[in-house]
A = this chain, B = another copy of it.
Amino acid sequence: MMSSNDTLPRFADVLAAAARIAAHARLTPIASSRSLDAISGARLHFKCEQLQRVGAFKFRGACNAVFALDADTAARGVVTHSSGNHGAALALASQLRGIACHVVVPEGAVRSKLEAIEASGAVLHRCAANLSAREAACAQVQADTGATLVHPYTTTEVIAGQGTAALELLTAHPDLDALVVPVGGGGLAAGTALTMQALAPNCRLFLAEPAGADDAAQSFARGVLEHDVIPDTICDGLRAGMGAINFELLRNSNARVLTVDDAQTIAAMRLLWSRGKQLVEPSSATVLAAVLANSALFEGSKVGLILSGGNVDLDALPKLFALVTASAA
């Protein structure tokens, strides 16, 4: 669902986003761990977006999109169809600007996540759990209210906003040899690519992707966007297929996809918890899993890793941990 106003963002848009969100978003810390350095054989610098507002990098893009609107457009509100971190982020950004936020949510969405979205004053619109119902419901809200669609990863300002995480990381560590980010729809990946091209053209970009949702890996291998992957992964933040604009941006960036299976991801998540003391969700742990599974690529290097979020369902932990043996962490 690429709307007509999705134009290719440039690095100047990332800089504009940084200025726009500075008063609202957190400048998140960058963590390191001697223990994880020893395990990986590399020097790892973790950008802690689990400590961003709403617990995920998604607040950067949503905040940029909301505050980029002119006053008249903003007054008609915004709409999206994510019941996850993007929905919560857009709801909070809208509350901060004092505008209406509509979130289309499919039947069966997690109750606690919907409560978080409602707590920020957003209006929920229920629809059936399929793409066409979701798009129809969004279009209806737009028609009824004049609200602006803020897509979770294809909207220009969203991509530019996500690029500010790498901007902060590369400002603190301009000499990174490699940067690893998770890839789902590609908003964070594309924004990161924009920032790297401008600030660190010799730094290699790696995209960590669940093997059970490897449309990016397939798309890169074939040179055309793959639409037909049915996701099967515990990484709930990375189930979306890559957007067309995101693929276009990333194809020109020499990014390389590294796939990891869920057991590798959960083992890495346990290491991030037990050794790094970083409370991250499974999607975030794909980046460490990718480094550990490809040691020849990273050994001896200075590596940046964006920990994308920390919204983990604690009640699901026994199920997640069952994916790996206890000895793995």
Contact = CB atoms under 8 A, between A and B. Distances in A.
Interface stretch (A126-134, A242-250, A270-278): A270-278
Contacts of A277: 50-51, 55, 279, 310
A314 interface: yes
Contacts of A51: 31, 277
A318 B317 contact: yes
A71 to B, nearest CB: 27
A69 interface: no
A318 B29 CA distance: 30
Contacts of A12: none
Contact of A279 (B273, B315, B321): B273
Interface string A263-299: 0000000100110011100000000000000000000
A318 B315 contact: no
A326 interface: yes
A314 B279 contact: no
* Copies per assembly: 2
Contact of A315 (B29, B314, B315, B326): B326
Contacts of A50: 277
What interface size band does chain A fall in?
20 to 34
A329 interface: yes
Nearest to A276: B279
A329 B314 contact: yes
Contacts of A29: 29
Nearest to A29: B29
Contacts of A55: 277
Interface in A160-182: none
A142 B50 CA distance: 47
Contact of A318 (B274, B312, B318): B318
B270 A314 contact: yes
Interface string A37-56: 00000000000001100010
A55 B278 CA distance: 11
Nearest to A54: B35
A52 B315 CA distance: 28
A314 B322 CA distance: 12
A83 to B, nearest CB: 17
A329 B279 CA distance: 15
A118 B278 CA distance: 24
A31 B310 CA distance: 15
Contacts of A278: 279
A55 B55 CA distance: 22
A315 B29 CA distance: 28
Contacts of A321: 314-315, 317
23 contacts: A29-B29, A31-B51, A50-B277, A51-B277, A55-B277, A270-B314, A273-B279, A273-B312, A273-B314, A274-B312, A274-B314, A277-B279, A277-B310, A278-B279, A279-B279, A314-B321, A314-B329, A315-B321, A315-B326, A317-B317, A317-B318, A317-B321, A318-B318
Given A29-B29, A55-B277, A279-B279, 6 more contacts: A31-B51, A51-B277, A273-B312, A274-B314, A314-B329, A315-B326
